[in-house]
Structures are given as C-alpha cells and as structure tokens.
Amino acid sequence: DVKVTQSSRYLVKRTGEKVFLECVQDMDHENMFWYRQDPGLGLRLIYFSYDVKMKEKGDIPEGYSVSREKKERFSLILESASTNQTSMYLCASTGTGGEAFFGQGTRLTVV
Amino acid sequence: GEDVEQSLFLSVREGDSSVINCTYTDSSSTYLYWYKQEPGAGLQLLTYIFSNMDMKQDQRLTVLLNKKDKHLSLRIADTQTGDSAIYFCAESIKWTDKLIFGTGTRLQVFP
C-alpha cells in the first residue's frame, strides 16, 4: 500500500520558534510538494522539489524553507513561526504514474 | 495568473444527483482533476480528464469539460451519505507537475 507519511498530525508551537514538518514517501517518487490548506482558500503551493537537493518556490514561499537531502524525505521549515502560519499543511508526491498521493496532513497551531 | 474557483457549499438529499462546478483561467492546463477530502484525511484522487476530452464517466462519477468556457463539473449520481466530503478541482500543465487547486466545495448529503 503506497504511503505518504507526515510525522505529526497535530502541533502547537510558540511564536518565533523554528518548526520542522517532515514528510516521507515510500513510492520512490521524484516529485514532492508542500501545500497549506485554509478554509475558503483551498490548497496553496508553498514549495516543491523535482529531485534530491532541488527545490522550487511555489505561490506562497515567504516565511518557509525546505530541505530534500534524500529522495524519500521532504521537510518544510518555518524559520520563525508566526500566528498567520497556523494552518493545515499537506505533503504530496507524484511519480511517473501521475497521480498525486497526499499525506494525512499536519494541523499546526502557532500561539 | 492561474485561478481556479468553486462554490463553497452544496447540500443534497441522499439518492439525488450532485453537481459540483469549477471554473479555471489557465488555458494551457492540460490535465484537470477532482480530489476528495474526507474529514481528518488527506486528499484522494477521484478522477481526471485530459483537456482534449469533453466527458469522462467512471461508475457514479461523470466529468464534463467545456474548454471554451473553461468550466469543469463533477456529477455524482445516486449521492450517498458516504459522499459527504470536500471536493477540490485542480489543474496542471504536465502529468506529474504541481497542481493548482480550487477553493473546495463542501458537499453535505442529508437523509
């Protein structure tokens, strides 16, 4: 059974903290993506990666960075968490089959 | 720029048909998708259509594409309570590329 796993379902962090969201896929997919989901706004692309050590900015990269040291792992980093980064974060991956597989999501609350 | 719009809510009676609509602006979109998100879960691909197609049917699901008007719809026949979820339309230029999502339509099915 194919799987995209996000390390935490729920996180509560303080303003100014550095936050790491981890995503691991076991499908040997080349492409990985981080989205944030907010009510009424749908999913917005933060960063994506087409290969190890490669990264591309999405539509809303400000305040975020990413790391892809290994093919199966794509980390999202909030350098200094702020309350407007309270959201649901979704990781996805795609391979040659085309379909995007999503993780369960991490609901992050910044207080 | 790219923009994908959906109505936010739809309420239908069990057994009726549901029609969820989506409009997009990027005429270079090659692939159009419908994803389903159940409560507390990530997104799951329901169906997709290539931009050179007008219609695709898959069991209870019918996708209609009007490329001239950039309008996509998803019809669910014989809607069941298990169909209650958020439905996202999405577009991409390449098969494994980043997805641009709509705002999502929350479908509520009542007995």
The alpha-helical segments, DSSP class H, found in B17-64 are none
Compare all CA atoms of chain B with the CA of A90 and give the residue at the minimum distance: B42
Contact A42 B40 (CB under 8 A): no
**Contact between chains at A42 and B96 (C-beta distance less than 8 A):** no
Q: Which residues of A touch B96 (CB under 8 A)?
A: 30-31, 94-96, 98
Q: Is B39 on the interface with A (CB under 8 A)?
A: no
- pLDDT of amino acid B35: 95
Give residue-wise pLDDT tens across range A59-106: 999 999 999 999 999 999 999 999 999 999 999 998 876 788 999 999
For testing the chain B interface, which of A37, A43, A96 should be mutated: the one with the most B CBs within 10 Å?
Answer: A43
Query: What digits encode the pLDDT tens for the residues A4-30?
Result: 999 999 999 999 999 999 999 999 999
Rounded Cα gap, residues B109 and B49, in angstroms: 25
Q: Chain A within 8 Å of B12 (Cβ-Cβ)?
A: no
Instruction: Say whether pLDDT at B36 is over 60.
Output: yes
* Residue of B105, B100, B91, B104 lying closest to B51 (CA atoms): B91
Q: Is the pLDDT of residue A52 over 70?
A: yes
How far is A23 from A17, CA to CA, in rounded Å? 19
Closest CA in chain A for residue B93: A98
**Residue pair B24/B89 in contact by the 8 Å Cβ criterion:** yes
Backbone φ and ψ for B6, nearest 5 degrees, come out as -140, 155
Span B4-18, mean pLDDT? 95
Alpha-carbon torsion A14, A15, A17, A20, what sign?
positive
Q: For position A2, what pLDDT does the model report?
A: 62
Query: Inter-chain contact A43–B45, Cβ cutoff 8 Å?
Result: no
Residue-wise pLDDT for B51-105, tens only, equals: 888 999 999 999 999 988 999 999 999 999 999 999 999 998 877 788 899 999 9
Looking at the partner chain, which of A33, A40, A98 has a beta carbon nearest the beta carbon of B98? A33
Q: Which of B109, B16, B18 is nearest to B61 (CA)?
A: B18
